[in-house]
Amino acid sequence: MLREPLLLLSRSSRVKDLVTRLPISSTIVNRYVPGETTADAVAATRALVDDGLVVSIDHLGEDTRDEQQAEAIVTAYLELIDQLAAAGLAHGAEVSVKLSAIGQALPEVGPKVSLENARRICRAARNVGTTVTIDMEDHTTTDQTLTTLHELRKDHPETGAVLQAYLRRTEGDCRALAHEGSRVRLCKGAYNEPDSVAWTDRLEVDKSYVRCLKVLMAGQGYPMVATHDPRMIRIATALATRNGRMPGSYEFQMLYGIRPDEQRRLAAGGETVRVYLPYGREWYGYLMRRLAERPANLTFFLRSLVSKR
Ligand code: FDA
């Protein structure tokens, strides 16, 4: 299995230096990240919306270590939300936010700063008629992220949660969050987690994904089925039917650049399909997680690095 070593290697600063010398235009980066600027994100969103899809936009950044950097990321989100509204796209696009990008990891003040920053983004989103989903990061942040989500939902109940099926705790978290008005994105999980907290066997992760889906589809909330896995998509569709859910009372979500034909096929069949669209200069961590998910990409990636030198 290449996934684990690749995720570990991605934490080496030498590897980061080497990889980030790749231009954003390099095919392997560009496949997953359409650009670095707000204008790039808005243009890519426009193209997807024109194709009948909806979008969740992530301004890339994570592990922010100082308040200025956190502030810069909040400013980028506020500008993005303004630009979406100006382009008439606020109903087709929401934003996804990583709490670590807006200060969660700052010593001592992290939870307070990231909550306040998230509130500012939620307020701006609501003002233009859209929503925010709070991404989930590695398991050491799960409790704090859910606490922050709970606080945010007091004023902004529309704020979306993310749960990761590979965590052993997640079926219970699904039960707690499957209530009316609760938007919950279920994904498999993208971080390198220890066996003590997560299933590491793919089949076990899939089984957990199905158990979680059953809870969310039977519940009163709005399930957001984030996967490219054809089996999970089939099971989600069957569970929606079994629970009397019509398209529009749940949605599918996929990442920008992955299975684009399937995204359009589902949308053409009447499903709501949201594309997660990351943009910005801090694409390194995101790219490495995408490569780790699909080691078949690795040869192509190494070739890009070599041809660049
Ligand atoms: P799986 O990995 O089994 O892949 C199924 C199939 O999809 C593969 O066979 C392949 O065809 C295709 N595929 C998957 N990954 C690919 C790749 N990188 N390149 C090319 N093809 C690929 N994670 C997290 O921890 N926190 C989060 O907040 C989010 N947010 C999020 C939002 C959305 C909209 C999505 C779709 C995913 C996330 N994720 C995430 C990532 C998620 O946890 C997971 O790592 C990936 O979605 C891959 O898992 P799949 O369910 O697609 O299954």
Residue of 27, 255, 277 to mutate, ligand 1, most atoms within 8 A of C-beta: 255
Confidence (pLDDT) at 16: 75
CA of 229 to the centre of ligand 1 (A): 8
Q: Going from the first residue of the chain to its last (309 residues), give the mean pLDDT of each consecutive group of 10, the final group possibly shorter.
A: 71 74 74 94 98 97 90 97 98 97 95 98 98 98 98 98 98 98 97 96 98 98 98 98 96 97 98 97 87 76 63
Cβ 135 under 6 angstroms from ligand 1:
yes
The architecture (CATH level 2) of 34-157+246-282 comes to Alpha-Beta Barrel (3.20)
Q: Note if 202 is an active site residue.
A: no
Question: How far apart are the C-alpha atoms of 202 and 15, rounded to whole Å?
Answer: 27
Confidence (pLDDT) at 26: 74
Confidence (pLDDT) at 8: 74
Tokens of 88: 């008439």
Question: How far apart are the C-alpha atoms of 37 and 164, rounded to whole Å?
Answer: 29
Confidence (pLDDT) at 154: 98
Measured by CA distance, the residue closest to atom 12 of ligand 1 is 228
Cβ 98 under 6 angstroms from ligand 1:
no
